[in-house]
Amino acid sequence: MIENSVPKWQRELRAFLGIKSGIILEGNVYDEYPRFFYEGEEITFLDTDNLDQTILTLVDEATTALVYFDPVDGFYCYENTPEEQRAMLEPLFEGYNTNEVSKNHDCTICLMPSGKKKGCKGSPETEQYIWVSEIIRRAVTDGAGIPGKENIVFVLNFASRLDACNLRQAEANTMFLNLMAATTANQTSQLFCNSVIMVVDKYNDIPALVYLNNPNIRTVSVSVPDRSTRRIYLENLYGDLAPFQLLSREDNDAGKQFVAETEGMQLQEMKQILRLAYRRNITPENITLAFRLYKYGVLDNPWENLENDILVHIEGKLEERVKGQDEALKKVKAVVTRAVKGLSGLQHSGASHKPKGIMFFAGPTGVGKTETAKALAESIFGDENACIRFDMSEYRLEQSDQKLFGAPPGYVGYEGGGQLTNAVKTRPFSVILFDEIEKASPTILDKFLQILEDGRMTDNQGNTVYFGETVIIFTSNIGLTKEVVDPSDPYGTTRKRVPTIMIEDPKKEDSPEFRDRVTRQLTEGVKAYFNDLGRPELLNRLGDDNIVVFQFINKPDAESICKYKLKKICRAVEEEKGVHIITDDVMDTLYAKAVLERANGGRGVGNMLEREFLNPLAGYICTLPEMPGALRCKYNEEGILTFEVAG
């Protein structure tokens, strides 16, 4: 095996042990790691194990004593017998009260909390950690005098938690000053120095005084396993998992996909996926089923279970609920077709898990953008509630991203997680709607880069949330207005927004030329918005063809919407009040009024019906001593809507 097969952090740690007296090991420090046997130029894979055992393979055990400490177990080592373990550990504790505990085949020696070193101040529990740092400093600086060992290396596990062990500030400072002194002291050996390895989540968990401008400190980042490491792990599976060795072969399609899909995962997570597959009797060829179960908690895939006629069904559902947007719905159908047939994102890398569909709905208010998203959720997942809507006007502030993705540790709301990540964990198969995206803080847009590219996001608690089975939709009316200087302001400091394009004549149908102009105006507006914000990379991830333009509702569409909403009102009144409403005499007038409101979309038509029909109807019904079987409505000579009991 060539040396490049060994993870970089292990090669780096092996190179600098004995060169640097202080090493900060940060990053993926709670995983399993491949261990290798070094014999000259030959490198052989042994097994995967925890960090302790992996570091053990990187030192020369014949000449170097490797001693571990953590706040739970105290000092311990991995010599062959308890007698050898005691022989290594006991010279460290001269002058300190200790308690020996036999633990499996390892000898753990803890400082006695009840014993106090002469001259110590404060409680024994807190002084204990000062004693630990003194022992390490003395052993590193003066030599531990361990029989048969020339050098010593200390590994401090959970070093980032040491100052959280109920220490007062002065005691914590003393402890870290001792560790700093251990890494800066002159040592007699010219070829090998004693070392302290501090294992932390991130390097700045340790006070800066320890490593700042300290040439004796080296920071080594433990990364998640790369492709080569993941493949080596699969090649050496044994026992019940041995059949999954097949996934390591370059000519195995399922294996190639699995190795690519596990990018960014820990080896422990890979083992858990393989265990799931074993327990569920999933064969290596179908490992994606276990991978989906691990990511989403379900084996079945709603996308694969859709009926053959789903595309026809979706088209009919969209046209029923959204009027006059044929071109927009055609684009939406194309995106859904790719998703349903499993063809989304094939132009990207094999490791990419982009969402099933990404669309940006641009258009005037009230023309069906949100309604389209809800109709999609109902058609695909059978439930309109599968459309998870976020009103982005609630995320105007720069720190609003904490609401979506969770607050950092120590901040209010950390335990609750993020609204977006929680929603997707609960409903991994959904339509996610970000309504009026232009109203959100621009800093939030950066968070979408990883979601749109890789289809995943790590929340504030370190859990990975997957978006690969979602359809993501942004809506906006960007491009319909522009900001100009208010001409009424003599100083030219007041700015206001004015329309960039307006309906030419509400009473006439929009011409094809006008609708083409709307499409160009909105498309260019969306592009300009992202470019002006300095986010062209986000626009690139959206894709020009995924910008779906919704037109102003046309004259026939306004009439159709008016008819649909009026029928809905009358049906509700009849069901709740038992009154049948006859509207034949007022339809033409209401249609004419609806057409005048079409610049405000379907909501404008709805507001008109509320004002012109529903309010007068409610007022009239309230004056009746008892509910009649039917009411006829009509306009009088003054143009006022009136009602009469129908025979």
Which of the listed CATH numbers 1.10.8.60, 1.25.60.10, 3.40.50.970, 3.40.800.10 matches domain 555-645?
1.10.8.60
Q: What is the pLDDT of residue 100?
A: 59
Q: What do you get for the CA distance between the two ends of the chain, in Å? A: 96
Q: What is the dihedral of CA 118, 123, 125, 131, to 10 degrees?
A: -30
Mean pLDDT confidence for 42-64:
91
In whole angstroms, what is the distance from residue 262 CA to residue 257 CA? 9
Q: Which fold has domain 3-222?
A: Rossmann fold (3.40.50)
In this predicted structure, which of 79-83, 192-196, 240-244, 580-584 has the lowest mean pLDDT?
A: 79-83
In whole angstroms, what is the distance from residue 405 CA to residue 391 CA? 15
Q: What is the pLDDT of residue 344?
A: 58
Mean pLDDT confidence for 453-476:
86
pLDDT at 117 over 90: no
Q: What is the pLDDT of residue 174?
A: 85
Q: What is the pLDDT of residue 490?
A: 74
* Length of the chain counted residue by residue: 647
Identify residue 379 by its one-letter amino acid code: S
Query: In this structure, are strands 217-222 and 22-27 parallel, antiparallel, or unpaired?
Result: parallel
Q: Which helix (H) or strand (E) holds 42?
A: strand 42-49
In whole angstroms, what is the distance from residue 471 CA to residue 428 CA? 10
∠ CA 305-308-310, rounded to 5°: 85
Query: In this structure, are strands 151-156 and 547-549 parallel, antiparallel, or unpaired?
Result: unpaired
pLDDT at 533 over 80: yes
The model's confidence at residue 81, banded by pLDDT at 50, 70 and 90, is confident
DSSP state of 509: P
Burial of residue 241, with CB atoms counted within 10 A of its CB: 0-12 exposed, 13-18 middle, 19 or more buried: middle
In whole angstroms, what is the distance from residue 133 CA to residue 167 CA? 13
User: Which sequence spans correspond to the domains of the chain?
Assistant: 3-222, 227-296, 349-552, 555-645
Query: In this structure, are strands 42-49 and 33-39 parallel, antiparallel, or unpaired?
Result: antiparallel
List the CATH code of the domain at 349-552.
3.40.50.300
**φ, ψ for residue 63, nearest 5 deg:** -115, -15
**φ, ψ for residue 615, nearest 5 deg:** -65, -50
Q: What is the pLDDT of residue 345?
A: 54
Query: In this structure, are strands 464-466 and 456-458 parallel, antiparallel, or unpaired?
Result: antiparallel
Q: Do domains 3-222 and 349-552 have the same CATH topology?
A: yes
Closest CA to 262 of 31, 543, 49: 31
**φ, ψ for residue 36, nearest 5 deg:** -125, 150
Report CA torsion sign: 162, 166, 169, 171.
Answer: negative
DSSP state of 283: -
Q: Which long-range contacts (C-beta less than 8 Å, at least 24 apart) are formed by 47-53?
A: 47/236, 48/233, 48/236, 48/267, 51/25, 51/157, 51/199, 51/222, 52/78, 52/155, 52/157, 53/78
pLDDT at 530 over 70: yes
Q: Note the pLDDT tens digit of each residue in 227-237.
A: 999 999 999 99
Q: Note the pLDDT tens digit of each residue in 236-279.
A: 999 999 999 999 998 899 999 899 888 888 999 999 999 999 99
